Structure 1
Amino acid sequence: MKLAIPDLISPSYFPAIAAVELGCLAREGLDVSLEMVAPVERSYAMLRGGELDIVGGSAHSALAAFPDWRGVRLLCAQSRGMYWFLVMRAALGIARGDLAALRGRRIGAAPFVGLALRHLLRGLGLDPEANDIGIVPIPGTERTNFGVAAARALEAGTIDGFWANGMGTEIALRRGIGTLVLDARRDAVAAPWFLSTMPVMAVTDEFARARPEAAAAIVRATTAAQALLREDPARATAIGRKLFPAEEAEMIAELVRRDAPFYTPGLPEGLAAGLDGLGFDLGLQTPGSTAAVALGG
């Protein structure tokens, strides 16, 4: 089987990576290879087309290929809650939580990841269109590791900030080129949108119905990988040294340690409502549809 994630050099989908690299899927009797397919909407399109068996990506992005949640099944969470960071160029002097200072700025984000930021800002009364906040793609990142590329773009001055994963954030902060303005998981201002999306393990509805034992095994393997990483985040370093460049490999264990409290496989109550809130707000769902039909193994 083929498992795709949309970003590799990142903590965002590390439980999926670990499920392969720590042998959790193999111990469940599943022969699964890992590959990066970006952006996330391409991953879901390939899942729908039968070119992939599993996608480990953002939950709301399934709507890119499965209108109104028809035909997709979100089996479990890789970790809980919206999981991106808003980082702005340090020279701008924007304090943490000062979202009003985003007016007139250009923020780099992958397309469907940027939709989550748009939804959050609109909920806070800071509609990007009305406030001249540009949420823009970063050229050349369509099929690469977005967070790392975003940090480079910030350093080059081609964007004012980015909305991306923990690895890009850590690079920007350590190099002094960026400041953290919003942590979607941990900052109270973002709490009402915590369940708008999260990283999940997804298969087609047909896969879940035809192979329930394999679907259940994917959940067990993800749960086992989360437990191993919670028990000893340093396990991530060996995986990083195998798959990442040297600098990022030495960062990944600390990023996993920070995320470990969110490593809960169950799809929480309120997720369907959160996904629907995003879907309806952004015109991705039609009236009467609900993410509830796609939840669970």
Structure 2
Amino acid sequence: MRIAVPDLISPSYFPAIAAVDLGLARDEGLEVELDLLYPVTEAAEALRAGKIDFLAGAAHAPMHAFPGWRGVRLAAALSQRTYWFLVMRADLGIARGDLGALGRVRIGAAPGPDLGLHRLLAAAGIDTARHGIEVGPVPATEGTGTSFGLAAARALGDGLIDGFWANGMGAELAVREGTGAIVLDARRGDGPAGADAYTFPALAVTEETIEHRPDDVAAMVRAIVRAQDVLRADPGRATEVGERLFPPREASLITELVRRDAPFYDARIDEPTVGALLDFGRDCGILNDPVTYDAVVATRFADLWNQAEGGT
């Protein structure tokens, strides 16, 4: 089976990456290939077309390819809460949380995640047109081999953009290089009320796969829950994964980023979380139909979310 992530070199979808690379899925009897497929909107289309079996990406991504959530379910959360950072050029001197200081700037954001930034700015009362805020693709991020956070940090350093909305790895690189400063961390309470609940990293799978291969889906969920448990107990395990999959600099940083995110590694998907996700979809115009919790979540796997079995 194939599982795709829209950004490999980051902590965003790391429990799924670790589940494959540490052999946890194999221990559950499942042979899985890990693919990088960017952007997440195209990865959702690949899931719909049957080109991949699992998508480890943003929880709202299926709404781009499965109207009204028909034909797809979320089987587990990889982590909790909105997980992107707004990073701006350090020389702009924008204080943490001061969205009102944004003006005449180009902010890079990937298709799919860009909806989160647009919604956040609107909720903060920021009129992007009036403030001259341009949100769009980062140069040189076309193609399936892109790890967006790295590309965004590089583009910021090269002066191609004034800021970006991306994962923790991109934010860390920009801060360490002195080119960027974190203006907003939605997961940890920055920004307008509710911004931390727009979306979250999740494992998506089609209803067809659930129907015809339920044991394999259950095995993947168990592997992810075990990976979350391993990483919470020993974030240092992330380094061995990074050394196999990442460039050296990023491999040296991943353990610290996983350590920061480990408190959010929780596979549960509760009804308030789904309610906020659906509100986000409606606000962004990618969901028009009434949808229930059971139509979004593969509840048959819910009993697996708390069954971590320890390390490997």
Where on the TM-score scale, by shorter chain, does this alignment land: which range?
over 0.9
- Tell me by how many angstroms 1:258 deviates: 0.3
The answer (yes or no) to whether the contact 1:103–1:133 under 8 Å persists in 2 is yes
Are the counterparts in 2 of residues 267 and 295 from structure 1 also a CA contact under 8 Å?
Answer: yes
Aligned partners of 1:130, 1:208: CA distance in 2, in Å?
Answer: 47
Contact 2:85 2:185 survives alignment (8 Å): yes
Stretch moving more, 138-147 or 122-131? 122-131
CA distance 1:158–1:188, shift in 2 (3 Å): closer
Name the counterpart of 1:136: 136
Task: Label 1:86 to 1:291 Cα distance change in 2 as closer, same or farther (>3 A).
Answer: farther
5+ long unaligned stretches in structure 2: 302-312
Paired residue type of 1:52: I
Which residue number in structure 2 is paired with residue 46 of structure 1?
46
Name 2:244's counterpart in structure 1. Answer: 242
For the residues of structure 1 that align with 2:188 and 2:101, how far apart are their CA atoms? Answer: 20
Per the TM alignment, residue 132 of structure 1 is displaced from its structure 2 partner at its CA by 2.5
Retained in 1: the 8 A contact 2:82–2:195? yes
Q: Distance in 2 between matches of 1:203 and 1:215?
A: 8
TM-score by length of 1: 0.96
Deviation at 1:271, TM superposition (A): 1.9
- The residue type equivalent to 2:106 in the other structure is R
Question: SS of the residue aligned with 1:270?
Answer: helix
What amino acid maps onto 1:277 in structure 2?
Answer: D
Pairs within 5 Å for 1:272-287: 272-287=274-289
SS in 2 for 1:60: coil
Question: Alpha-carbon deviations, 1:220-246, whole Å to 9, x = none?
Answer: 111000000111111111111111111
For 1:191 and 1:22, locate their aligned partners in 2 and report how far apart those are by CA, in whole Å.
37
Letter in 1 for 2:163: G
Q: How does 1:175-214 map to 2 (within 5 A)?
A: 175-214=177-216
Deviations 1:151-184 (A, max 9, x none): 0110111111000001110000001110110001
Assess if the C-alpha contact under 8 Å between 2:120 and 2:191 holds in 1.
no
Give the secondary-structure state (helix, strand or coil) at the position aligned to 2:202. strand
SS of residue paired to 1:111: coil
Structure 2 residue 110 is matched with structure 1 residue 119:
no
Secondary structure, aligned partner of 1:18? helix
Tell me, in whole angstroms, the C-alpha distance in 2 between the residues paired with 1:65 and 1:282: 14
Q: 1:229 to 1:272 in 2, by over 3 A?
A: same
- Cα distance between partner residues in 2 of 1:177 and 1:277: 35
Q: What is the RMSD computed on CA atoms of the aligned residues?
A: 1.4
| TM-score where L is the length of structure 2 | 0.92
SS of residue in 1 equivalent to 2:7: coil
Q: Is the 8 A contact 2:139 2:160 kept in 1?
A: no
Distance 1:66 1:125 in 2: 30
- What letter matches 1:155 in structure 2? G
**Cα distance in 2 for residues equivalent to 1:99 and 1:291:** 33
CA contact (8 A) 2:189 2:196 kept: no
Cα offset, 1:36, TM superposition? 0.3
**Which whole-Å CA distance do the structure 2 matches of 1:160 and 1:254 have between them?**
26
**Residue 13 of structure 1 corresponds to which residue in structure 2?**
13
3-state DSSP of counterpart to 1:267 = coil
How far off its partner does 1:6 sit? Answer: 0.5
